[in-house]
Amino acid sequence: MSATLTYEPYRLPAGMLAMAVHGVFFALLYFGFTWQIQPAETMSVELWQSLPEDTVPIAVAKVAEAVQPAQPVKPVIMSKPDISIKDNRKSETKSVVTKPDKKKSEDQLEQQKSAEAEQRERIAAQQAAQAAREKADREKAIQDAAIDAMVNEYKAKIVTKIRRNIVKPPDVPDNASAEFRVTLLPGGAVLSAELIKSSGKVAYDNAVERAILKSQPLPLPADVAMFQRFRVLRLTFRPAE
């Protein structure tokens, strides 16, 4: 059996395509790897033959602090309460309480009694003054009432004496009223008789005026001090009275 060779025209392009794809793949791997690799950072170091004088003590102190071991914490010891102090305080408070001074209490009692006595005296004085004022007011009221009664009595006497001397003119109504202001002198003499309110009848007004002047001296109290109550009189006259 013999084999025959046949030509396949599509195998050459396929092989070339596969080689191109593999080439691109290897190129990506190569460039990607080189892109991620970065150069290492460089460090510059200065060499000193000896440290400066200013920094040596500070550095030594820092090293000593770092090397110094931590000190152990001391335990706290709880102390028992001092009972004797409390007992002393109790004894001190007891010693403060003392008995009251008898003499001082007696002095305070005397002062209180004296103050109460003074207050009673003030109250009694106020009551006495009030009673005296009330008594004076009562006496004055009684005196004023007596003076008013005397004034009214003598005014009535004066009006009665003047009425006796009035000559009533005819045709004068009984409700007619004439009012005069009469000024007197000590002893009862008439200084003036002024008509204040007319009765409406001139004849009756003139008759009353003539009667006033004819009746002097008018009766007055014997007490001269009472004259001020009779110096100026307002007298009213009616025919019916």
Tens digit of pLDDT at every position of the chain (241 positions): 444 445 455 566 677 777 888 888 777 777 665 555 555 555 555 655 555 554 444 544 554 454 455 555 555 555 554 544 444 454 455 555 555 566 668 888 888 888 999 999 999 999 999 999 999 999 999 988 988 898 899 999 999 999 999 998 988 888 889 999 999 999 999 999 999 999 999 999 999 999 999 999 999 998 888 899 999 999 999 988 7
**Which pLDDT belongs to residue 108?**
86
**Which pLDDT belongs to residue 84?**
47
The pTM assigned to this predicted structure is: 0.46
Q: Do residues 167 and 174 lie in contact, with contact meaning Cβ atoms separated by under 8 Å?
A: no
Contacts 24+ apart (CB under 8 A), 192-200: 196/234, 199/172, 200/176
**Which pLDDT belongs to residue 21?**
81
Tell me, which fold does domain 142-237 have in CATH? Answer: 3.30.1150
**Which pLDDT belongs to residue 28?**
77
Give, in degrees to the nearest 5, the angle at Cα 161 between 155 and 162: 90
**Which pLDDT belongs to residue 25?**
78
**Which pLDDT belongs to residue 73?**
52
**Which pLDDT belongs to residue 1?**
43
Taking the C-alpha atoms of residue 154 and residue 181, their distance in angstroms, rounded to an integer, is 16
**Domain residue ranges in the chain:** 142-237
